[in-house]
Amino acid sequence: MTIKHQTLPSILIVIFICLLAPLELRCQTECRESDSGCKVRQRVREIFQEALDQCVTQLPNGVKVSTFVPPSSQQVEQIKSIGDAAIPVLTEFLNADQGFSFHLSLRFLGELGGSRIVRPIAGYLKTSGNPLHRIIALNWLNQAPVKDALIVARETEQHDPDERVRKAARELISELSKK
């Protein structure tokens, strides 16, 4: 098979684009100076990573041990100072549903409190396959307004496939109804 002269430039252009595409994607992940939203997301990730790093200790023999350590008061205050803008990044970590990231994201969301934490937790309750994690997430709704938390707790009580989660939802409903 021979390549005609007219198709050679087309092939070269395709190769050139394929080589530059990864570079372009990498450049898009870095924040532009004018993109304050990107910088905020980056800062939330940095704070989160610092808190996550606190959970790992290296023993004198070189073995690394992981133990959950709540975020420091300074880290909590930094997230609180970011406010609502931290919610999307914390939601990403929550939905990743991985070990200490799950617990840290819930802790930060709980510290933020208010109605802004209801949507991420409600979304998590609908999509997580881990009943124990759903129970833990459900209990963080105590940091949300009672009216909003009751809606999610009732929905969970009616629709969750796991009896233990439904029972936790009933208990939360009972507790919230007393407030």
Domain map of the chain by residue range?
A: 37-112, 115-179
Do residues 10 and 4 make contact, with C-beta atoms less than 8 angstroms apart? no
Instruction: Select from 114, 179, 170, 158 the least CA-distant residue to 140.
Output: 114
Q: Residue 97: what pLDDT?
A: 74
Average pLDDT of the residues in 15-40: 52
Torsion of CA 120, 121, 124, 126, to 10 degrees: -110
Q: So what's the pLDDT on residue 34?
A: 54
What's the confidence (pLDDT) of residue 7?
52
- What is the pTM for the complete model shown? 0.78
Cβ atoms of 169 and 153 closer than 8 Å: yes
- In the prediction, which pLDDT does 20 show? 38
Of residues 152 and 18, more confidently modeled: 152
Beta bridge partners of 56: 66
What is the structure's pLDDT at 91? 96
**By the 8 A CB rule, do 165 and 152 touch?**
no
The whole-angstrom separation of Cα 26 and Cα 70 is 33
Write down the pLDDT at residue 17: 42
The predicted structure's pLDDT at residue 22: 40
- The pair of structure tokens assigned to 116 is 């802004």
At residue 87, the pLDDT reads 96
The proportion of the chain whose per-residue pLDDT surpasses 90, expressed as a percent, equals 75
For residues 9 and 15, what is the distance between their CA atoms, to the nearest angstrom?
Answer: 10
DSSP letters, the chain, are: ----TTHHHHHHHHHHHHHHHHHHHHHHHSPPTT-HHHHHHHHHHHHHHHHHHTTEEE-TTS-EEE---PPPHHHHHHHHHHGGGGHHHHHHHHHHT-HHHHHHHHHHHHHH-SGGGHHHHHHHHHH---HHHHHHHHHGGGGS-HHHHHHHHHHHHHH-S-HHHHHHHHHHHHHHHT-
Digit-coded pLDDT (tens) for 115-135: 999 999 999 999 999 999 999
Across the range 109-118, mean pLDDT stands at 96
Mean pLDDT of the chain: 85
pLDDT at 93 over 80: yes
pLDDT in tens, 58-92: 999 999 999 999 999 999 999 999 999 999 999 99
